[in-house]
Homo-oligomer: A and B are copies of this chain.
Amino acid sequence: MIPIKPILDGNKRAVSRAISLIEDESHYASSLLRLLYPHTGKAFVIGIVGPPGTGKSSIIDAMVRCYRQRGAHVGVVATDPSSPTSGGALLGDRLRMGLHSLDSDVFIRSMASRGQSGGLSPTTRNVVRVMDSASMNPIIIETVGAGQNDVSIASVADVVVVVLMPQMGDEVQSGKAGFMEIGDIFVVNKADLDGADKTISDLRALRSDVKGWEPPILKTVAIGGKGIKEMLVQIEDCRQYLEKKGYFARRRMAHLEEELLGDIVSHWTQKLKLRAKRTSRFRAIVREVVSREIDPWRASEQLYKELDMM
């Protein structure tokens, strides 16, 4: 059994080991997480999402600086493989975020991303839980995508900040990454470059007000820290708005619902696949489809019924 006290006390080495167990899907991970769970739920979780190259890690760097000045213990989970924050994931777990890695009140963890998809790994929620139990607050998650296939940042973070940059009209317009739907706050970083105002007006035309909150659109120049304080004010305003209206708790419930359903579905999927492969009818039906005696849609109806009855 792994002792949880060092983790709860915020010992960085203990936290780091716990996260490694989770990433490695160790047998100890789930019992550890169950012990830590009662100590979670305190941290405010901020999601920072945007296409590669928009400067998310400079923004996080500047955010951490501000939070540190207020004496906060900050946790950072970085998952964008092309970003310097998490580039380290490819090089073991080297941290490259300037001076913070030497600062004992900032904990930065880079995670290898899963495949080419933009979402978060399902383990991200649990990594956040470990940091939360270690009294890190706020916890900042950086990711490149909105997660259509993996877990979306919007189902882990309390507040989502979408980071774009000038000349990104197309990314916004095509809306492919789903950024417009999940942003509570939009940031046009590198706002000293040409085209910032155009990007802002594109965003203005597309943003949709969610339950009375009109997502603000801010300009930042993260290298140099311009606009970051204003951004933190907006993040805090958003949080207070959500809390006042009861949406904050409701979001957390929705996140948990999604997690539980995801668990059940993946558990059941494994069972179903095994069951199907053990069914002698399965191979027979597949053969009938290959020989064009029946079509795949009739086949899946038949199989569905047979499996349901067992």
Which residue numbers of A lie inside 8 Å of B, CB to CB? 30, 33-34, 37-38, 40-41, 90, 114-118, 144-145, 148-150, 174, 176-178, 249, 252-253, 256-257, 259-261, 263-265, 267-269, 272-273, 276, 282, 285-287, 289-290, 292, 295-300, 303-304, 307
Contacts and interface: CB of A to CB of B under 8 A. Distances in A.
Contacts of A299: 260
Contact of A304 (B33, B264, B304): B264
Contacts of A273: 261, 265
Contacts of A90: 174
B303 A115 contact: no
A interface secondary structure, majority? helix
The 6 closest A-B pairs by CB, nearest first: A115-B148, A149-B149, A263-B300, A116-B118, A37-B295, A117-B117
B148 A290 contact: no
Given A38-B295, A263-B300, 20 more contacts: A34-B295, A34-B297, A34-B298, A37-B292, A38-B292, A41-B290, A90-B174, A115-B176, A117-B118, A117-B148, A149-B149, A253-B287, A256-B289, A256-B296, A260-B285, A260-B299, A260-B303, A261-B273, A265-B273, A268-B268
A296 B260 contact: yes
A118 B118 CA distance: 10
A296 B265 CA distance: 14
A33 B295 contact: yes
A116 B256 contact: no
B115 A300 contact: no
B303 A252 contact: no
5 contacts: A33-B297, A115-B145, A256-B286, A260-B286, A261-B276
B296 A263 contact: yes
Contacts of A259: 296
A296 B41 CA distance: 13
Contacts of A115: 117-118, 145, 148-149, 176-178
Interface centre among A41, A117, A267 (most CB of B within 10 A): A117
